[in-house]
Amino acid sequence: MRILITGVCGFVGSRVAQAIQQSHPDWSICGLDNFSRPGSRRNRPSLERLGIDVLEADLRDRELTDKLSPCEWVIDCAANPSVLAGVTTGSSSLDVMEHNLVGTIHLLEYCKTHQAGLILVSTSRVYSASKLAQIPVELQEQRYQPTMQVIHSPSRDESMWAGLTADGINERFSTEPPLSLYGSSKLASELLAMEYASAFDFPLWINRCGVMAGAGQFGKADQGIVAFWIHSWFENAPLKYVGFDGFGHQVRDCLHPGDLSRLIELQVVDEKRTGTPRICNVSGGCSSAFSLRELSDWCEHRWPNRRPRSLSILSDFRTRPYDCPWIVLDSSLAQHTWSWRPEWDREAIWNEIADHAEAHPDWLDQIKG
Ligand SMILES: NC(=O)c1ccc[n+]([C@@H]2O[C@H](COP(=O)([O-])OP(=O)(O)OC[C@H]3O[C@@H](n4cnc5c(N)ncnc54)[C@H](O)[C@@H]3O)[C@@H](O)[C@H]2O)c1
């Protein structure tokens, strides 16, 4: 089996590449990356030590895919993954579309030419940001929870709340814009991938991932929040709760890339399934859900003597664009379809990051852009 991984030196791409290579030493893994993500170059040597070929290349380059040798599967992990990309952070809106959408189109042409299967690593951000933001929530201890009424009411408005369940957001939830430029670039990528796969008959699986977290992530405030928070806490860097009530009660779930890798391994050996849903949520779900406030408590417990600057956690009540009080994905469709379930629990993920923080006490400086 020959597999090409794009964005191979990014957080997800590198962890998936390593995991697959380690569990299938007979498979040939290669990858490409343009190293636009600060810190990504750090991953190159360890991938190469495992025998993974890494090509420095940019998916926006139209000629690139003509130059790549054939493979059986492509795992697309290249993107600018920030929900604020093109809106408030450094990159322009056109940059986001070029990296995230034009890059995908070039890959689709490659899949068409070589009849390669595609695994698109998509995102929970394809769901409507405006509807997610309107989910009625109430504060329960240190976190927001959707009100039971909106989940269980038999007379609830399905045009608004289809897909909202006690186990999280499922695949029926609205994808109506606004989503964010990032979310729209991924939703458009999904649509084009389905069109190409159908027209040119190559296998396709789309994994809509919730927040992913683990050691080695290049965490920033707007992307990779779990790693950013734990590293910042350990390094005594200033932290800020942003938006809503200013106390960090917003909720997300978390998934370790090792669990995504296990799913991908099942998908690449099972390309011919008929009737299997192409699109599945892939997430840690309710059992992994947390608020930043709870993550702070956990950090305090792990490092009782490292509190000083953390005490200066600031609140900023201005809610950031596209922020939502509660995003937890229901991945039961993926679990039933693939007989898969996440094995990494929240505690194990956070401990992995905290161990990494202790081993790399200047991580935030090392990954600065
Ligand atoms: N991290 C998460 O929480 C999360 C959640 C859901 C989905 N995803 C998806 O997972 C994928 C990987 O995300 P990540 O967290 O590893 O991000 P990352 O920034 O760590 O990795 C992305 C990699 O892609 C590379 N890249 C970007 N544009 C490129 C281009 N035009 N050509 C070649 N390489 C390019 C970057 O240099 C980087 O190494 C993305 O598609 C993202 O949408 C991530």
Do residues 289 and 245 touch, judged by C-beta distance below 8 A?
no
Question: In the structure encoding, which two tokens stand for residue 31, read together?
Answer: 């990858």
- Rounded to 5 degrees, φ, ψ at 103 are -55, -45
Q: Which atom of ligand 1 is nearest to the CA of 125?
A: 6
In this prediction the pTM is 0.96
Do residues 236 and 313 touch, judged by C-beta distance below 8 A?
no
**Cα gap 121→54, rounded to integer Å:** 19
Q: At 308, is the pLDDT very low, low, confident or very high (cuts 50, 70, 90)?
A: very low
The mean per-residue pLDDT over the stretch 209-227 comes to 96
Ligand 1 close to Cβ of residue 216 (< 6 A): no
Helix, strand, coil percentages for the chain (3-state, nearest 5): 40, 20, 40
Ligand 1 close to Cβ of residue 282 (< 6 A): no
Digit-coded pLDDT (tens) for 151-197: 988 888 999 999 999 999 999 999 999 999 999 999 999 999 999 99
Distances (CA, A) of 68 to 25, 54, 78, 119: 22, 12, 16, 17
pLDDT the model gives residue 311: 46
Mean pLDDT score across all residues of the chain: 94
| Residue at token pair 């932290």 | 239
| Residue percentage of the chain with pLDDT more than 70 | 96
| Domains of the chain, start order | 2-366 (3.40.50.720)
pLDDT the model gives residue 180: 96
| DSSP assignment letter at 368 | -
| DSSP assignment letter at 86 | T
Ligand 1 close to Cβ of residue 254 (< 6 A): no
Residue 314 has pLDDT above 70, yes or no: no
Q: Which atom of ligand 1 is nearest to the CA of 58?
A: 32
The mean per-residue pLDDT over the stretch 337-347 comes to 96
**Cα gap 230→357, rounded to integer Å:** 8
Q: Which atom of ligand 1 is nearest to the CA of 57?
A: 33
pLDDT the model gives residue 259: 98
Digit-coded pLDDT (tens) for 70-104: 999 999 999 999 998 999 867 899 999 999 999 99
**Cα gap 365→363, rounded to integer Å:** 5
Residue 217 has pLDDT above 60, yes or no: yes
Distance 77 CA to ligand 1 centre (A): 5
The mean per-residue pLDDT over the stretch 276-299 comes to 96
**Cα gap 212→209, rounded to integer Å:** 7
Least confident of 249-253, 273-277, 357-361: 273-277
pLDDT the model gives residue 276: 82
